[in-house]
């Protein structure tokens, strides 16, 4: 036989929904069978969802997952082979495996290289296996380096040396900015080193803070891109391979266009929020709409993720809230088509002030009184969340989270934060991008949904008269440049100063970064967009006296 058809299912499993994930696998298999495929493939750990974290250490969960694999093997015994990721247990040890189901039998390829950087901690969960040899599927000897295996030349080279004719790479690879270029560069290297065609199949969908972005592709020897699937969207395609004098080659097909950096970030935030709500059971969300740029962007993301009818915005003015802010919040809600209610906090603020007056006697008003306002807003929003069942969204950006310019138990209240890994300067960029673009994956309206005045006015928390963010922080372009150095690149104070920044300012920002760790430890999860997202990517101690001097 000189022809091999492979069906690729780039799909969105739900972690822990074993029956639902098995049903998705069956549906993909049926589509492949109808198309005359020899094999249908899904992604790494698809039967369980990914990443399982310590859930996979529960024997009952592993047993249930393996039972679904065995049931799929029986149900799909007549027709194309089915490849699906899941756990495996051999001699009492737990492995990350890719199971190939053929004729009722199961052949399991075990992962060799276990990632233990960034969001991955597989070495404490799984056992590393020896490199597996190729598996015969129809007319092809298929080599299966599982995700991280393909990042290491020795695995692919061993597979080629032991007879593999096509490399198939099942992945659970989460998004970060620039990740497609990294993947493509590495996979081209594997193709050049082995001389074999390569299929890279990646999961899609949000899981807690991570977004698996799909963007699967097929390379022919020499590194020619002959097939690509959309980023951030489920897709199913059939790839035809032909055997010639120089080995197997995939037939070129129409290529999906991958979005620009700004669009990819925005789509990642939309998908992560949509899936976080869908997979945790929330149909509606709630947020405080202040008239500022951060809450306006979160409202737009929420409307695009869930539809405007599922988004409840609340304006909570104090005596320091400007008329402009009231007007801007109303304009954002009106443009998006979301509900907007106003609940003044003046009365509650006065009541708290009266209650604390005897204890605060002889002190000057300051940040304590400012934080009371934020915490009152948090109390009221959480009450609305509890009463209505809508999940409260937090709206702080990465710049604020980095330096602690946020109030714990106040504006940090909530269940999810789409902007958690987006610096303030990129918040402005995202607003401008959304105003200029609309896509079919957006549930919100087209057009200008964030009025220009919201983007252009000086940022302010409006917790005291004439307050501006720059009263407490450097201008955001300077702040973000310093934070990029400290957080993203782990640069020293001296290296950042050498870039042209004031030494005292850099030291102050470094100090704020370290003393705010306790706030981030208690913050809501949020969309991972960079290689240094707070939480799993960047893990720092809370009690820490070291400073770079």
Concerning whether 431 is annotated as a catalytic residue, the answer is no
Exactly one of 24, 41, 76, 111 is catalytic; which is it?
111
H/E stretch holding 94: strand 93-102
Q: Write down the residue that tokens 């003044």 correspond to.
A: 344
**CB contact at 8 A, 142 and 156:** no
Which of 82-99 are b and which e, b meaning 16 or more Cβ less than 10 Å from the residue's Cβ? bbbbbbbeeeeebbbbbb
Rg (CA), the chain: 26
H/E stretch holding 424: helix 424-436
Long-range contacts of 136-140 (CB under 8 A, 24+ apart): 137/38, 137/39, 137/81, 137/100, 137/102, 138/1, 138/4, 138/38, 138/39, 138/81, 139/1, 139/2, 139/3, 139/4, 139/38, 139/243, 140/4, 140/38, 140/165, 140/166, 140/241, 140/248
Where is the binding site for deamido-NAD(+), in residues? 371, 400, 519
Tell me the CB-side half-sphere exposure of residue 357, using CA atoms within 13 A.
6
Tell me the CB-side half-sphere exposure of residue 318, using CA atoms within 13 A.
18
Rounded to 5 degrees, what are φ and ψ at 446?
A: -80, 170
Where is the binding site for L-glutamine, in residues? 173, 179
Tell me the CB-side half-sphere exposure of residue 23, using CA atoms within 13 A.
5
Dmax over CA atoms of the chain, in Å, equals 91
Cα 210 from chain centre: 3
Can you tell me whether residue 512 is helix, strand or coil? helix
Rounded to 5 degrees, what are φ and ψ at 318?
A: -115, -175
Concerning whether 193 is annotated as a catalytic residue, the answer is no
Tell me the CB-side half-sphere exposure of residue 120, using CA atoms within 13 A.
17
Three-class SS of 193-227? HHCCCEEEEECEEEECCEEEEECCEEEECCCEEEE
Rounded to 5 degrees, what are φ and ψ at 199?
A: -110, 120
Exactly one of 24, 41, 44, 279 is catalytic; which is it?
44
Where is the binding site for ATP, in residues? 288-295, 395
| CA gap 462, 311 in Å, rounded | 24
Q: Which residues, other chains included, contact 196 with Cβ-Cβ below 8 Å and sequence gap of 6+?
A: 143, 156, 160, 164, 165, 166, 167, 221, 247, 248
Structure tokens, 339: 């509900």
Where is the binding site, in residues? 173, 179, 288-295, 371, 395, 400, 519
Concerning whether 406 is annotated as a catalytic residue, the answer is no
Exactly one of 76, 147, 277, 313 is catalytic; which is it?
147
Active-site annotation, residues: 44, 111, 147
């Amino acid at each position: 036989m000189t022809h091999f058809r492979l069906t690729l299912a780039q799909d969105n499993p739900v972690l822990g929904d074993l029956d639902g994930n098995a049903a998705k696998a069956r549906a993909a298999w049926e589509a492949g069978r109808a198309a005359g495929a020899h094999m249908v493939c899904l992604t790494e750990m698809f039967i369980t969802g990914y990443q399982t974290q310590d859930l996979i250490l529960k024997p009952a969960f592993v047993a249930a997952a393996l039972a679904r694999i065995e049931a799929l093997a029986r149900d799909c015994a007549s027709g194309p082979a089915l490849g699906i990721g899941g756990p495996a247990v051999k001699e009492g040890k737990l492995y990350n495996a890719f199971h190939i189901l053929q004729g009722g039998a199961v052949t399991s390829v075990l992962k060799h290289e276990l990632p233990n950087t960034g969001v991955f901690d597989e070495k404490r969960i799984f056992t590393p296996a020896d490199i597996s040899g190729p598996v015969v599927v129809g007319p092809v000897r298929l080599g299966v380096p599982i995700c991280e295996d393909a990042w290491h030349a020795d695995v692919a080279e061993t597979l080629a040396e032991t007879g593999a004719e096509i490399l198939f790479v099942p992945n659970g690879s989460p998004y970060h900015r620039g990740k497609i270029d990294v993947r493509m560069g590495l996979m081209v290297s594997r193709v050049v080193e082995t001389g074999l065609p390569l299929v890279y199949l990646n999961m899609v969908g949000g899981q807690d803070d991570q977004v698996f972005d799909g963007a699967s592709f097929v390379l022919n020897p020499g590194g020619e891109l002959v097939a690509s699937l959309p980023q951030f969207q489920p897709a199913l395609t059939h790839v035809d391979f032909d055997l010639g004098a120089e080995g197997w080659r995939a037939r070129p097909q129409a290529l999906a266009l991958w979005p620009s950096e700004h669009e990819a970030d925005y789509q990642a935030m939309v998908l992560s929020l949509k899936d976080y709500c869908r997979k945790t059971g929330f149909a509606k969300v709630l947020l405080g709409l202040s008239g500022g740029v951060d809450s306006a962007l979160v409202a737009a993301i929420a409307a695009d993720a869930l539809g405007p009818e599922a988004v409840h915005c609340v304006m909570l003015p104090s005596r320091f809230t400007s008329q402009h802010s009231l007007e801007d919040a109303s304009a954002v809600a009106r443009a998006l088509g979301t509900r907007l209610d106003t609940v003044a906090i003046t009365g509650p603020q006065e009541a708290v002030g009266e209650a604390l007056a005897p204890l605060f006697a002889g002190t000057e008003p300051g940040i304590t009184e400012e934080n009371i306002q934020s915490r009152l807003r948090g109390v009221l929003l959480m009450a609305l969340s509890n009463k209505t069942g809508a999940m409260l969204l937090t709206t702080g950006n990465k710049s604020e989270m980095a330096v602690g310019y946020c109030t714990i138990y106040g504006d940090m209240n909530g269940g999810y934060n789409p902007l958690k890994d987006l610096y303030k300067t990129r918040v402005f960029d995202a607003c401008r991008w959304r105003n200029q673009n609309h896509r079919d994956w957006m549930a919100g309206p087209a057009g200008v949904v964030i009025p220009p005045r919201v983007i252009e006015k000086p940022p302010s928390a409006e917790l005291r008269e004439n307050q501006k963010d720059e009263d407490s922080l450097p201008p955001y372009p300077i702040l973000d440049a310093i934070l990029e150095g400290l957080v993203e690149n782990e640069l020293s104070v001296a290296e950042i100063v050498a870039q042209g920044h004031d030494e005292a300012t850099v030291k102050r920002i470094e100090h704020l970064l370290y003393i705010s760790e306790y706030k981030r430890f208690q913050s809501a999860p949020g969309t991972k967009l960079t290689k240094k997202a707070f939480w799993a990517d960047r893990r720092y101690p809370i009690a820490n006296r070291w400073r770079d001097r």
